[in-house]
Amino acid sequence: MRRDIFQAIADPTRRAIILLIAAQGMTPNLLAEHFDTSRQAISKHLRILSECDVVRQEPSGREIYYQLNPVKMEEIEHWLAQFRNILDQRFSNLDNLLSTIQNKSK
């Protein structure tokens, strides 16, 4: 079952894991060292991130490294772009209003 990308980023621990593996691939044991939680809890978070297709597993010998899937992160960017456009328009309207008020007061 594939989960929604927003389920992946809903949890602060998963967001932290995403930030850590964005820089370099890491094993579950290496990731667990960064958190005050069990290795099993980290594995559960990694499973959810894998189900959301946010991370990829890269076997290397006896270890499995988790890598960020940047293509999947583009879904978040596209969703946020809608709001960025709305906010840009609102700020532009506010700038126009402020210019009009300043011009009337001169």
**Where are the domains positioned within the chain?**
5-105
pLDDT band, residue 101 (cuts 50/70/90):
confident
pTM for this one? Answer: 0.75
Mean per-residue pLDDT for 97-103?
Answer: 86
- Whether residue 97 is predicted with pLDDT greater than 70 in this model: the reply is yes
Q: Which CATH code of 1.10.260.40, 1.10.390.10, 1.10.10.10, 3.20.20.120 fits the domain covering 5-105?
A: 1.10.10.10
The predicted-structure confidence for 67-77, as pLDDT tens digits, reads as follows 999 888 888 88
24 pLDDT higher than 80: yes
Q: What is the 3-state secondary structure (H, E, C) of the chain?
A: CCCCHHHHHCCHHHHHHHHHHHHCCECHHHHHCCCCCCHHHHHHHHHHHHHCCCEEEEEECCEEEEEECHHHHHHHHHHHHHHHHHHHHHHHHHHHHHHHHHHHHC
Reply yes or no on whether the pLDDT at 1 is more than 60. Answer: no
